[in-house]
Structure 1
Amino acid sequence: MPLILQSTTPLSAADLDTARTLARASDLVLRSDTVAAAGDCAPLTPALRDALDDFCGPRAIDWAVVPAGRRLSDFRLVAMDMDSTLITIECIDEIADFCGLKAEVSAITEAAMRGEITDFNESLRRRVALLKGLDASVLDRVYDERLRLSPGAERMLQTVQALGLRTLLVSGGFVHFTEKLKARLRLDVTRANTLEIVDGKLTGNVVGEIVNADVKARTVQEVCAQIGATPDQAIVMGDGSNDLKMMAVAGLSVAFRAKPVVRAQASVAFNHVGLDGLLALFPH
């Protein structure tokens, strides 16, 4: 199986030599200053995973062992989480900042993402309830003033879209943001939660079915069926425990600057490179 190394700075010959030895790779050839690939390496055992983590982590190198013989164009769907994956912020935390409750809401968000709060629905309701009475105009302020795309997001999306892959943004966050991003980035499908707004104010309630881990996984499967693809032809990118179920149904799962529980279960982890690190994993 091919071994891919990526960094945001040039890879050194010494680092390549050590990584090649660790992985028992026959060769490790630079594709660019920041990307190197070996055609084959040793089986990815827990011991090899730990060894690569221990060596690459302190050097800000991301490594991946990917299935041989696949091209990026063999996939049909790229599905992404929104908060802290496609974008750099947690929208609910930034909304809460406008009513002085960011620390309290962030603590619940972090615990949920780490998997310490197992009932996502309840954790979301608790956080949204704290927003009751907030002027809905705050949502636009968060989008305009604080929302930023993650590094490499636009390049990754433009490339996969040019290859004909469909795109899905599925989020435990809010429709207000996913709809704006859908138009901005020309995404095919989005799904998220709807905040109830009455007389221009947030009521502290969520309308309709909450997009939790099960709904995320179901949505990936439904969109695959709609486009005539199998889940094995889906790439899923996420960062928190709420993403694990949809990552598990995919042919390739990418943990993006993720919590340890997610990195441990993902096919690939990007801790340093941007979302466009996906483009280096397979020939196009």
Structure 2
Amino acid sequence: MTTILLQPAPPADQGGEALAEAVAGELGGRARPCAHAWRIETRAVPSPARLETLRGRHRCDLNLLPEGFDPAAVGLVISDMDSTLITIECIDEIADFTGLKPQVAAITEAAMRGEIDFETSLRRRVALLEGLPAEVLERVYEERLRLNPGAEVLVEGLRGRGIPFALVSGGFTVFTERLKARLGLDFTLANELEIAHGRLTGRVRGAIVGARAKAAFLEELCERLGIRHDQVIAMGDGANDLEMLARAGLGVAYRAKPALRARADVLIDHNGLDAVLAFLETC
């Protein structure tokens, strides 16, 4: 039997059962409820195109877990930050204080689509921030940074299961470290902006945290925790998350760009980050 997870768009308590039964009927299967999703059991394996059609028609997240993935064995969840754990691209908001947000945002978008090498794009964007007062970073955190829906529920749910949470970002330590303290995260890795005399220099200190560094961080954490790659759930939204997701047992595309959607194992488009908890259920 094939198991497909269905998660209605919020509010899930309105019409969820009817939706699950309707989708199960279209797939020739039966639906039963679990804590965070409906499980549809069917003999046929639907194609990705079929699942995409049903997602659009019913406004739900509908996913087939990859063969060999064991929810009970998950030992780490690792996530991108910008536009995944949080709603914004931090560098775009920093650039807004220079009047260059449109130019920087255009480079960010191209990098996330995979059209520009991430490391090169980051250096170009950071260079445009030269001379900006460092206190702007605090303003971005306090005034503009918001968690995506379900982020706190996800982190708390993982903590209750004893599963570590790692935050890895092509963004900046000034934000990842604040989020680590605020949410009680276990591990973080990000780029460090160089600051001199209270102003940004337009440079990043040390090596760039890009696609390869994200994947390497996943591997490093697996070694430290004594787990296999297939015991990891990785989440992201852009092209620089591809290598990280490819190494994980389950790659989650969260409201992602086409380049990542096409290669992720599962898609979350209609729910918050707490939808990931459904991938840990064994009911």
Q: TM-score, normalised by structure 2?
A: 0.93
1:28 is aligned to 31
Cα distance change on mapping 1:201 and 1:55 into 2, 3 Å? same
How many residues align? The count is 278
- By how many angstroms is 1:108 displaced? 0.3
Match of 1:139 among 118, 137, 140: 137
Deviates more, 1:6-15 or 1:93-102: 6-15
Q: Percent identity?
A: 50
**Given that residues 66 and 265 in structure 2 are in contact (C-alpha distance below 8 angstroms), is that contact kept between their aligned partners in structure 1?**
no
AA aligned opposite 1:57 = G
Distance 1:194 1:282 in 2: 33
Query: Unaligned stretches of 5+ in structure 2?
Result: none
Distance 1:178 1:214 in 2: 19
1:5 is aligned to 6
1:43 is aligned to 45
1:52 is aligned to 51
Encode CA deviations 1:23-52: one digit per residue, 9 max, x unaligned.
332x112447x83212345224xxx22122
Query: Unaligned stretches of 5+ in structure 1?
Result: none
Encode CA deviations 1:157-185: one digit per residue, 9 max, x unaligned.
11111111111111000000000011111
Q: How does 1:5-154 map to 2 (within 5 A)?
A: 5-7=6-8, 8-9=10-11, 10-11=14-15, 15-25=19-29, 27-31=30-34, 35-44=37-46, 48-67=47-66, 72-117=71-116, 119-154=117-152
**Given that residues 3 and 66 in structure 1 are in contact (C-alpha distance below 8 angstroms), is that contact kept between their aligned partners in structure 2?**
yes
Q: What secondary structure does 2:280 align onto?
A: coil
Q: How does 1:198-209 map to 2 (within 5 A)?
A: 198-209=196-207
2:162 is aligned to 164
Encode CA deviations 1:140-161: one digit per residue, 9 max, x unaligned.
0000000011100011111111
Q: What secondary structure does 1:39 align onto?
A: strand
Q: How does 1:272-283 map to 2 (within 5 A)?
A: 272-283=270-281
CA RMSD after TM alignment: 1.8
Q: What secondary structure does 2:262 align onto?
A: helix
**Given that residues 11 and 35 in structure 1 are in contact (C-alpha distance below 8 angstroms), is that contact kept between their aligned partners in structure 2?**
no
Q: TM-score, normalised by structure 1?
A: 0.92
